[in-house]
Amino acid sequence: MSSQPTDDSFHVFDTTLRDGAQREGINLTVADKLAIARHLDDFGVGFIEGGWPGANPRDTEFFARAQQEITFGSAQLVAFGATRRAGAKASEDPQVRALLESGAPVITLVAKAHDRHVELALRTTLEENLEMVRDTVSHLVAQGRRVFIDCEHFFDGYRANPQYAKAVVRTASDAGADVVVLCDTNGGMLPAQIHAVVATVLADTGARLGIHAQDDTGCAVANTLAAVDAGATHVQCTANGYGERVGNANLFPVVAALELKYGRQVLPEGKLKEMTRVSHAIAEVVNLTPATHQPYVGVSAFAHKAGLHASAIKVDPDLYQHIDPELVGNRIRMLVSDMAGRASIELKGKELGVDLGGDRELIGRVVDRVKERELKGYTYEAADASFELLLREEAEGRARRYFRTESWRAITEDRPDGSHANEATVKLWAKGERIVATAEGNGPVNALDRALRVALERLYPQLAKFELVDYKVRILEGRHGTQSTTRVLISTGDGEADWSTVGVADNVIAASWQALEDAYTYGLLRAGVEPTE
């Protein structure tokens, strides 16, 4: 590993694989968990909580394979589990044994710290709960493991019975737990409350404290930082804030605040700029679209639309951004929309390498075209390639084309035996020839895509490299009494770069065809092929 782990004085503890997986819509395979663990280690977190070995076969398999298949750089693997059952011995509890058998060097034990939960959910006595903490922690420490304790519902418990909540902290710490993590399990706290409780518990117990915040008040990041302000030196977070209900404290804004606002290095040198990439990569693995408006790492995080801002940014970008986006691997973007003025269009042209040279009349025409198309449902904010084609068409006075569509047809059939057939035919003109091509596919759009390739690949061999990498459909509701329309966004790649195009029509197939036409046209332009008309 090239990067140095940071020292033990401050812990960045990630629980995406355990608590993050509780998010509605997330369903991780072992392969997913291994991929995420690699990304997190690559980002430089200190601890990766991988799951609850023994509780389900998937988590048990993850621990076995992670230790075999991954050479961790900065991170240590953590197994999550519970204190032993009431009335038993930790050394004889099968759940505790599974934690040891996972081979993880660090174990986080969840313990009840709220008297009411001990009685109602655990159905045991307050004293036995303390005994469960003491026995389980000392057993695991005796077996050579480092132990952290998650005090579940700590803040609610502290409000109800502060003496008992602190007794759990002292018991865990005295039994050998290295960090006692105060959890706002129901997520109902606000920063000032977190600050006050953490400060008091630290003063009264002297234990090393951590924080685990849920985002139910929308304050999980601030709650985490408030605990650090009060003396916590261990933060539990999840990538992109994934987690039960609203989610957990988001790893990325917490780390960014600590490094950029507090000036406290918590990642190995040079890792902060991987943040945007890692955030998006993990979203891909869990199969969720990266949240566009996420702090620091969202594609919109440094995107400017207001004409007022665009004019100022032409003077000095720092006037309208709180940090240099490159510090977190993100970038500034100017948005093209009918709210944007001429300054935005000019900056966007510059970003795409099309010099509009301050031509006011040309820029005005582009603004008008964008307005007119957005009214129909097009959006250029997420379709740079379609925007560039529009821009070049206005700048050059005509559209540059490689082919001209005459007509097409797509048929999808469900047969009595349950199998599907998809067939598409395209009729088009290219380099003076009329070409008719038919192809099958696994769906109607795929069949159209293949038919288009069959028709064109002899004349334009460059398009053999093109690949559809993403495909999104949005139904624009006929809210204003109009017929509903369909918008399709397609991302296409050639192995070097990806580009995005948009199509809008009264149905999904026709909208997809438009986006495909733009995608092939832009790809050929990008490849330096001379347009034929």
Q: Give the helix ranges, DSSP H, for 356-479.
A: 360-376, 384-396, 444-456
Contact flag: residue 517 with a second copy (CB under 8 A):
no
Contact flag: residue 215 with a second copy (CB under 8 A):
yes
Contact flag: residue 513 with a second copy (CB under 8 A):
yes
Site for a second copy, residues 339 to 378, rule: CB under 8 A: 339, 374
Among 4, 8, 24, 398, binds a second copy (CB under 8 A): 24
Q: Which range in 131-139, 247-255, 357-365, 393-401 contacts a second copy by CB under 8 A?
A: 247-255
Site for a second copy, residues 452 to 511, rule: CB under 8 A: 470-473, 475-477, 479-480, 483-484, 486, 505-510
Query: Three-state SS for 363?
Result: helix
Instruction: Using alpha carbons, select from 142, 85, 87, 90 the residue that is nearest to residue 112.
Output: 85
**Pattern 164-193, binding to a second copy, x per CB under 8 A?**
---------------------xxxx-xxx-
* Residue 85 beta carbon to a second copy: minimum distance, rounded to whole angstroms: 14
* Residue 258 beta carbon to a second copy: minimum distance, rounded to whole angstroms: 11
Among 264, 273, 322, 465, binds a second copy (CB under 8 A): 322
Among 65, 97, 117, 159, binds a second copy (CB under 8 A): 117
**30-43 vs 57-69: helix crossing angle, rounded to 10:** 50
Q: Which is nearer to a second copy, 256 or 439 (CB)?
A: 256
Contact flag: residue 309 with a second copy (CB under 8 A):
yes
Q: Which is nearer to a second copy, 116 or 142 (CB)?
A: 116
- Any idea of the CA torsion for 423, 429, 434, 439, to the nearest 10 degrees? -20
Query: Do residues 113 and 154 lie in contact, with contact meaning Cβ atoms separated by under 8 Å?
Result: yes
Contact flag: residue 253 with a second copy (CB under 8 A):
yes
Q: Which is nearer to a second copy, 264 or 355 (CB)?
A: 264
Site for a second copy, residues 266 to 295, rule: CB under 8 A: 284-285, 287, 292-295
* Residue 318 beta carbon to a second copy: minimum distance, rounded to whole angstroms: 9
* Residue 3 beta carbon to a second copy: minimum distance, rounded to whole angstroms: 25
Instruction: Using alpha carbons, select from 110, 205, 188 the residue that is nearest to residue 152.
Output: 110
Site for a second copy, residues 405 to 444, rule: CB under 8 A: 405-416, 420, 422, 441-444
Query: Three-state SS for 481?
Result: coil
Instruction: Using alpha carbons, select from 337, 372, 362 the residue that is nearest to residue 504.
Output: 372
Contact flag: residue 337 with a second copy (CB under 8 A):
yes
* Residue 488 beta carbon to a second copy: minimum distance, rounded to whole angstroms: 10
Q: How many residues bind a second copy (CB under 8 A)?
A: 115
Q: Give the helix ranges, DSSP H, for 20-124.
A: 30-43, 57-69, 94-101, 115-117
Rounded CA-CA distance 400/492 in Å is 19
Instruction: Using alpha carbons, select from 40, 20, 423 the residue that is nearest to residue 246.
Output: 20
Q: Which is nearer to a second copy, 138 or 337 (CB)?
A: 337
φ/ψ of 485, rounded to 5, equals -120, 165
* Residue 284 beta carbon to a second copy: minimum distance, rounded to whole angstroms: 8
**94-101 vs 126-142: helix crossing angle, rounded to 10:** 30
Q: Which is nearer to a second copy, 2 or 293 (CB)?
A: 293
Rounded CA-CA distance 145/107 in Å is 7
Instruction: Using alpha carbons, select from 178, 296, 181, 177 the residue that is nearest to residue 236.
Output: 181
